[in-house]
Structure 1
Amino acid sequence: MTPPKQPDSAATAQGPGAPAPKAPGLRERKKARTKAAIQREAVRLFREQGYAATTVEQVAEAAEVAPSTVFRYFATKQDLVFTQEYELPFATLLQAQAPDLTPVQAERRAIGSMLADLSDEELALQRERWLLITSEPELWGAGLAGITRSMRVMAEQVAKRAGLDPEAPPVRAYTGAVFGVLLQVSLDWASSPDMDFAATLDAALECLEDIRP
């Protein structure tokens, strides 16, 4: 099942009558393309050669940039796998949803909007990142820190909508249930490349509809 029909998330987030967000300039777009190319080549090499066996210099050569450029965008080698900027867009999209929606409906719309904005190439890269994280013990251990951070962000946003404390047991239980679904669907996706990730995730999240924080 697909997510409920979504309003224009940008307009909703900005509020009625607010000016449209300014489009990124040429310089910002070029930087974003460079960063994406570096991470894409890094993930490819890590998958082909192994994470430990691949050097930052090899990543730089594959991306046709200097090693110093790699470190300008990614402070550490691990950041080549983990650096993503999802928390703020998710928080913005979740708070933009209508207040009369159930928590799961709001989550489905926010996550659906984020996935809809990804190109096929970007979505394929996310799957490759996930395969890499689950196959490399060093990365899996490091990935738990990112999962913990993302759970905290989700708990804060859910609590804000519900008028509760982020540490309240209902909020923690709800967030844990949502992340359990996200983890299970992601693991299934890793072994089933033809899976429609967005549709499968949405249908799984819908099963949580009766859970309330």
Structure 2
Amino acid sequence: MTAKESSIPDLPGSPVGLRERKKIKTRQAIRREAYRLFREHGYDATTVDQIAEAAEISPSTFFRYFPTKEDLVLTDEYDPVLVEILRTAPQGTSLVRVVRTGVLDALREILRVDGEELATRMTLVLNVPALRRRTYEQQMQTWVLITEAFAARTGRSANDMELRVAAASINAAMGEAIMGWARNGCTEDLVELVDQALALLETGLRDGP
């Protein structure tokens, strides 16, 4: 995806209305200009005013979409996709299996449409201390969404210990796969890395190398 392109991933199970699509396009346009400035000048040296000017919006409009500059990097439109995958998966399927099969298809589409920006985003998270500190908070929000979505489809309580441990493990496994991808320069097959991480949860850790 080139720096001038802007599109919304046609992700499985993620129909959105016209108004929301317009909001997503605006958020993506702001991010696109911000990432360009980050690459040119560095994250810390780039101000919200500079991003707003590049995106041809006012600073107040920027803050309507992103409460802080950190939120521009850390938030995305993909959590609802994960919730929809969990909500519509066949009954009687394990949580790990549902995520492993559904998320991989969505991830392929995300990489096709937004692969360059995803790589920029994760490189920033890896290298900017303020973003690394906030990442855990963002991961916790995803963990809660996974737990609540699977609880809703199974009739379990969202406080069910087994469910919470499974959701936390899935979130940690995917997070480690993505951060490992960033540490290695975003050159590996991210879909394969995430699949390997989730497969480990399904099969367990082998005894030995």
Q: TM-score range by the shorter chain?
A: 0.7 to 0.9
Whether 2:36 is the aligned partner of 1:44: answer: yes
2:108 is aligned to: 116
Identify the residue that residue 197 of structure 2 maps to in structure 1.
Answer: 204
- Structure 1: gaps of 5 or more residues: 1-7, 14-20
Q: How do residues 1-213 of structure 1 correspond to structure 2 at under 5 angstroms?
A: 9-10=12-13, 24-25=17-18, 29-118=21-110, 120-192=112-184, 193-210=186-203
170-179 vs 89-98, greater mean Cα deviation = 170-179
Pick closer, same or farther for the CA change 1:50–1:75 going to 2, 3 Å: same
SS in 2 for 1:78: helix
Higher alpha-carbon deviation: 114-123 or 174-183 = 114-123
The count of aligned residue pairs is 193
User: Is the 8 Å Cα contact of residues 9 and 96 (structure 1) preserved in structure 2?
Assistant: no
Q: Deviations over 1:11-52 (max 9, x none)?
A: xx9xxxxxxx6x744x65454333212112213323443333
Deviation, 1:160, is: 3.2
Cα RMSD (Å): 2.6
Q: What TM-score results when the alignment is normalised by the length of structure 1?
A: 0.77
Unaligned runs of 5+ in 2: 1-10, 205-209
Query: Do the aligned partners of 1:43 and 1:80 also contact (CA within 8 Å) in 2?
Result: no
In structure 1, C-alpha distance between the alignment counterparts of 2:23 and 2:76, rounded to whole Å: 14
Q: Indicate if the aligned counterparts of 1:159 and 1:165 stay in contact, CA closer than 8 A.
A: yes
Report SS of the residue matched to 1:118. Answer: helix
TM-score (norm 2): 0.78
**Matched residues in 1 for 2:20 and 2:168: separation?**
36
Work out the CA distance in 2 between the residues paired with 1:33 and 1:158.
29
